[in-house]
Amino acid sequence: MSKQSRAILLVAALQFVYLVDFMMVLPLGPDLAREHGFAVDRLGWLAAAYTLASAVSSLITFRLLDRFDRKPALLLTFGLLALATLATTFCHGLPALMVARALTGAFGGPAVAIGMAIVIDMTAPEQRGKAMAKVMLGFSLAAIAGVPLGLELARMGGWQAPFYMVAALAALVLAAMAWLLPALEGHLNAREKVSAQVSARLLLARPTVRLAMLLQAGSAFSAFLVIPHFSAYFLLNLGFPRAQLGMLYFAGGVVALLTVQLLGRLADRAGPVLAAALASTAFCAGLAPFFGLGAALPILFFVLFMAGNAGRNVTMAATVSQVPSPHERAGFMSLQSLVQDVAIGAAALVTSWQLGEAADGRLTGMAPVAALAAVIAVGVAGGLARLAGARRAVALE
C-alpha cells in the first residue's frame, strides 16, 4: 500500500471516530435527556458547546498548524480528543455534559483540519474528489456502523457504553497513526518560499476564500438546523420505535456511502454543479416529514436526507480543496473548521429559540426550521457553481 493510500485510510479512520463521537450524541439525545434530567428541546445546547469550543480552538491554532510537522500535531490533538471522550462517562447533569463535549470539540476541530490537510498535501488536484470521497467513507461508516452500534450499546449497557467504545477506537487509530504515518514536512518547505505569513486577514482578502467560507457556513448551518432533532422528532412526533432507531441510521448510512462515492467521482469528471444539484434536491426532499408529509414512510425520507447531505459534503470538499495553496492548507482547513463550527453553533441557538416541547413531549416548531434549511441549501448549491466558475477563471489566467 502506498504512503498516500495509508494516509487516506488513516484520515478516514480519524473521521470515523470523530464523527461517531459527534453524531451519536444527537440520536442518543432522548436517552441522555432522560438520564440527566433535561428537556429534549435543549439537545442543541450539547451541539453548540461542542462546535463553539471547536471554533475557539480553531481560531487559536489557526496560525500554528502549518508551522509544524503534521504528524506530531495530529497525534497530540487526536490523543486529547480520546481522553476528552472518555471523560464524558464521568459526567452527571447537562452542565457537566456540556463541559465534556466542549473539551472534545476543542481537540477535534484541529485534529480534523490537520488530517484533511495531509490528504490534500498528498493528492493531485484532479484526484481530490475521489480522495475526499474515500476520506468521507468515515462519515458513511459512522452512520452505518458507529451510530447504530452506539445506540444498541446504550440500550443494553447504559448511556456511558458508547463513549467507552469511541475512546477505545480512538486509542487504536492513534496507535496506527504513530506507526504508519511518515513525517509530513513538505508544507514547511513551501512555506519558506513565500514571504507573507499566512493569516486569516490575508486569506479572507481573496474573494474565492470568502465565498468558500460563506458556502461552508451555509452548508453546515442548513444541515444542523435539523440534524440534532431527527431522532427526537421521529421518536416523539412520528412514534418511530426506539428499538429500530439503529436500523434507521444504518439504512441512511448505507445509502450515504454509495452517494458519496458516486457524487465524488461525478464532481471530478463533470464538475460540482450537477453533483451539488442532485445532492441538494435529495436533501430538501428528506425534510418532508417535518412538514407533515410522508409520515408513513419516515425511513425513505431519512435516507434521502442522509444521501443528500453526504453528497453536498463531498462536492463541497472537492471544490473548496482547490482554493488554498500548499503552505496554507492546514491554516485554511482550520479557518474552514472555525467557520463551520460557528455556523453549527448558530444553528443550535436558532433551534433552541424556535423549538419547544408540548405537554405530551412532542417537539414543536420544526416546520419553519426545516423551511429555512431548505432555502439555504438551495442557495449553497448555486454558490458552489459560482465558486467552481471562479476557480476555472483563475486557472485559465
| CA-closest candidate to residue 183, choices 72, 78, 77 | 72
CB 304 within 8 A of CB 287: no
What local confidence, expressed as pLDDT, does residue 328 receive?
A: 65
pTM to 2 decimal places: 0.70
What local confidence, expressed as pLDDT, does residue 374 receive?
A: 96
CB 65 within 8 A of CB 113: yes
CB 211 within 8 A of CB 387: yes
What local confidence, expressed as pLDDT, does residue 342 receive?
A: 83
What local confidence, expressed as pLDDT, does residue 79 receive?
A: 93
For 109, other C-beta atoms within 10 Å of its C-beta total 30
CA dihedral for 312, 315, 130, 343, sign (positive or negative): negative
For residue 16, give the C-alpha cell: 470515523
For residue 280, give the C-alpha cell: 441538494
What local confidence, expressed as pLDDT, does residue 196 receive?
A: 39
SS3 call for 138: helix
283-287: Cβ within 8 A, 24+ apart: 283/222, 283/223, 283/308, 283/309, 283/311, 283/312, 283/374, 283/377, 284/308, 284/374, 284/377, 284/378, 287/226, 287/370, 287/373, 287/374
What local confidence, expressed as pLDDT, does residue 23 receive?
A: 78
Q: Which residues in the chain land under pLDDT 50? A: 187-188, 190-197, 393-397
